[in-house]
Amino acid sequence: MYTYDKTMDREKNRYPGEGISKGRYRFILESVPISIRSLLSNLSIDELDGIEEFRLKVDAPLMVYGSGFNAFVTEDGRLSKQKTRAYVVTEEDASKALQLMCNCSLYSIEDDLRSGFITIRGGHRIGVAGKVVTDGGRIKTIKDISSLNIRVSREVLGCAGSVIPYLIKDRTGVYNTLIISPPQCGKTTLLRDIIRQLSGGVPSLGFEGIKVGVVDERSEIAGCYKGVPQNDVGIRTDVLDACPKAQGVMMLIRSMSPVVIATDELGRPEDLTAVGEAVNAGVSILTTVHGWGRDDAARKPVIGELLRDGVFERIVVLSRKRGPGTIDEIYDGALGKKISVSGGGVG
Amino acid sequence: MILKMIACSVVLFSATAAGFVIAGRFSGRVRDLRLIQEGLKMMESEILFTSTQLPEALLNTSAKLEAPLDRVFVHAAQILEGRMGYTAGEAWNLAFEKYLEALCFNKEDLEIIRDFGKSLGSTDKANQEKNFRLARLQLSSQQVKAEEDRGRNERMYKNLGFLLGVTIIILLI
């Protein structure tokens, strides 16, 4: 019933009376109430392509954020710098949006709400803020939703092309790799494409493709909707969606015999044991961490320890120098030496 | 004479039929109330035990439900799947409005159904359970009343139709 058609015909995804097909923004438009949907569908595809976040806050103007810009959405469906003509989001808009986002089944996303975000079809993630209801110190749910932040999921297929040759050890193996990147620099996008290429194989390098296990705690990598990855993560990839990292790594080692395990944002004490476990079992690790360069990462508790132990054989450092996803440097962890020339922006 | 006989039997037949139709609405209401309670029960377990999403829960329920309620559930599911911005409550009400003629609910019943629709799908499981419980409780007391009404009125309207027919014939002759 809810099949996600990857070969979606752009012309077929029209809304009656709107005339413009919004292709991959369809699921975002479907998740906001008609009042806001009609404004957003007025924006051109070029405008939509520049947007990274749609922010709905009760009694505040409807806003969009992109790379280095933000704008208000006016009442006639245009982007504007002026607050005065902006559409003001009502309480009804927010509560309706939340219902539409979960397919009118709030009860089915109770667990997601507890962690503060939900993933919709298309892999887009929606952050939720409001009144948090606790029960004995544990978060029970969020009610009276005041803010919704729709983060557009963008796959940049092929963005890992310049990194992959440095990560491949031989025909069937990869190095333990750490990606260090400041926030919003395309860390997850790069990780996703590395996973896709390792899993699918890289014929030009004679690399056949290996079994990849992904522990996707925040549903950001594969963007699973009802357990099915909405992003292309390759044919040999098994995804544990919404699973705590350390436990997920153990589960994958035991159950899915992966060659490499990929996770996003390592950093909790228990992750250390899990990584050790994986390395002992001969499974490679591919992970990321927030940070501005190698020295900064080395100061972080868990990652610092792993770096000092020489667990990571390849370290990729990202920056925003030439747009999000600029590959700054690639280090050989064992030699501690730079092994790449600076690469270009990847999206 | 033959013409008169035919006219008389037509009058008698239609008056009796009208009586039966009105009487039928009483047993129809009992049937519909029973069906909607069954439907709610099935939907409740889909929602509470398997967290099935609402459109799917509505469809699964409709497959096990008898006419005319099954169509209402299918229609509500279709509205939600159309993703035209309707919430569960709105879809629920629209579906009942569409099939209002085919259903035998009275105003009170519909009020309960609409109130139930307001929180359908828009709260967590614990509150969904309360909502389902409350609606079923109210509907079952409506059913008791409907059964009393049927016992009292069904026979009466059937006879009344026939007698009305006879009266008209006597007056005309």
CATH code, domain carrying A218: 3.40.50.300
Looking at the domain assignment, is residue A56 inside a domain?
Answer: yes
Residue A185 and residue A122 share a domain: no
Separation between Cα atoms, residue A315 and residue B5, nearest integer Å: 102
Average pLDDT, chain A: 84
Q: Are A87 and A71 in contact (CB under 8 A)?
A: no
Out of A119, A151, A183, a domain closes at A151
Residue A235 and residue A140 share a domain: no
More confident residue, A24 or A91: A91
Residue A101 and residue A237 share a domain: no
Confidence grade of residue A341 (pLDDT, cut at 50, 70, 90): low
Contact with chain A for residue B125, Cβ under 8 A: yes
Chain A positions with Cβ closer than 8 Å to B: 1, 30, 33-34, 37, 95-96, 99-100, 102-108, 110, 141
Looking at the domain assignment, is residue A75 inside a domain?
Answer: yes
Residue A11 and residue A33 share a domain: yes
Separation between Cα atoms, residue B158 and residue B161, nearest integer Å: 5
Mutate to test the interface with B, among A108, A114, A131 (most CBs of B within 10 A): A108
Residue A251 and residue A206 share a domain: yes
- The closest CB to that of A104, out of B51, B54, B124, belongs to B54
Residue A22: predicted pLDDT: 64
Separation between Cα atoms, residue A310 and residue B13, nearest integer Å: 96
Residue A19: predicted pLDDT: 36
A107 with B83: Cβ contact below 8 A: no
Confidence grade of residue A58 (pLDDT, cut at 50, 70, 90): very high
Average pLDDT, chain B: 89
Residue A322 and residue A188 share a domain: yes
pLDDT tens for each residue of A147-187: 999 988 878 888 888 899 999 988 888 999 999 998 878 88
Residue A295's contacts (CB-CB under 8 Å, 6 or more residues apart) are: none
Residue A175: predicted pLDDT: 93
Question: What is the SS3 assignment for B40-92?
Answer: HHHHHHHHHHHCCCHHHHHHHHHHHCCCCHHHHHHHHHHHHHCCCCCCHHHHH
Q: Which residues pair with A289 in a beta bridge?
A: A180
Give backbone dihedrals phi and psi of A144, rounded to 5 degrees, phi first: 45, 65
Residue A190 and residue A138 share a domain: no
Residue A203 and residue A62 share a domain: no
Q: Which residue has the tokens 């298309």?
A: A122
Number of neighbours of residue A29 by Cβ within 10 angstroms:
20
Residue A56 per-residue DSSP state: E
Residue A2: predicted pLDDT: 33
Number of neighbours of residue A205 by Cβ within 10 angstroms:
12
Q: Are A300 and A271 in contact (CB under 8 A)?
A: no
B54 with A105: Cβ contact below 8 A: yes
Query: B25-52 as b/e, with b when 16 or more CB fall inside 10 Å?
Result: bbebbbbbbbbbbbbbebbbebbeeeeb
A99 with B55: Cβ contact below 8 A: no
State the amino acid at position B52 in one-letter form. T
Residue B173 pLDDT greater than 80, yes or no? no
Cis ω on the peptide bond leading into residue B68 (within 30° of 0)?
yes
Segment B6-16 shows an average pLDDT of 89
Residue A282 and residue A231 share a domain: yes
Segment A114-138 shows an average pLDDT of 87
Distance from CA of A33 to the nearest CA of B (A): 5
Looking at the domain assignment, is residue A157 inside a domain?
Answer: no
B83 with A30: Cβ contact below 8 A: yes
Least confident of A23-27, A49-53, A59-63: A23-27
Which stretch of DSSP H or E encloses residue A180? strand A177-181
Residue A345 pLDDT greater than 80, yes or no? no
Structure tokens at A263: 């996770």
CA distances from A74 to A4, A71, A80, A209, B157 (A): 32, 9, 7, 48, 62
Model pTM score:
0.76
Residue B133 pLDDT greater than 50, yes or no? yes
Residue A14 pLDDT greater than 70, yes or no? no
Contact with chain A for residue B49, Cβ under 8 A: no
The number of domains in chain A is 2
Residue numbers in A near B56 (CB within 8 A): 1
CA distances from B89 to A8, A333, B84, B93, B110 (A): 30, 57, 14, 6, 13
Looking at the domain assignment, is residue A176 inside a domain?
Answer: yes
Q: At what angle do helices B2-50 and B125-172 cross, to 10 degrees?
A: 180
Separation between Cα atoms, residue B117 and residue A63, nearest integer Å: 32
pLDDT tens for each residue of A72-123: 999 888 888 988 889 999 999 999 999 999 888 888 888 888 888 888 887 8
Contact with chain A for residue B50, Cβ under 8 A: no
Residue A47: burial class (beta carbons within 10 Å; 0-12, 13-18, 19+): middle
- Whole-complex ipTM: 0.80
B84 with A34: Cβ contact below 8 A: yes
Looking at the domain assignment, is residue A190 inside a domain?
Answer: yes
Nearest chain A residue to B122 by CA: give it. A106
The alpha carbon of residue A169 and the mean position of all alpha carbons in its chain are separated, in whole angstroms, by: 26
Nearest chain B residue to A102 by CA: give it. B53
Confidence grade of residue A71 (pLDDT, cut at 50, 70, 90): very high
- The closest CB to that of A103, out of B53, B123, B125, belongs to B53
Structure tokens at A277: 């476990």
The alpha carbon of residue A38 and the mean position of all alpha carbons in its chain are separated, in whole angstroms, by: 27
Residue span of the structural domain in which A227 resides = 164-339
Residue A143: predicted pLDDT: 82
Separation between Cα atoms, residue A139 and residue A111, nearest integer Å: 10
Looking at the domain assignment, is residue A1 inside a domain?
Answer: no
Separation between Cα atoms, residue A62 and residue A85, nearest integer Å: 11
The alpha carbon of residue A121 and the mean position of all alpha carbons in its chain are separated, in whole angstroms, by: 13
A99 with B121: Cβ contact below 8 A: yes
Segment A248-258 shows an average pLDDT of 93
Residue A168 and residue A123 share a domain: no
Which stretch of DSSP H or E encloses residue A314? strand A314-319
Out of A129, A151, A173, a domain closes at A151
Out of A151, A176, A194, a domain closes at A151
Looking at the domain assignment, is residue A97 inside a domain?
Answer: yes
Residue A17 pLDDT greater than 50, yes or no? no
Residue A313 and residue A198 share a domain: yes
Residue B138: burial class (beta carbons within 10 Å; 0-12, 13-18, 19+): middle
Residue A200 and residue A64 share a domain: no
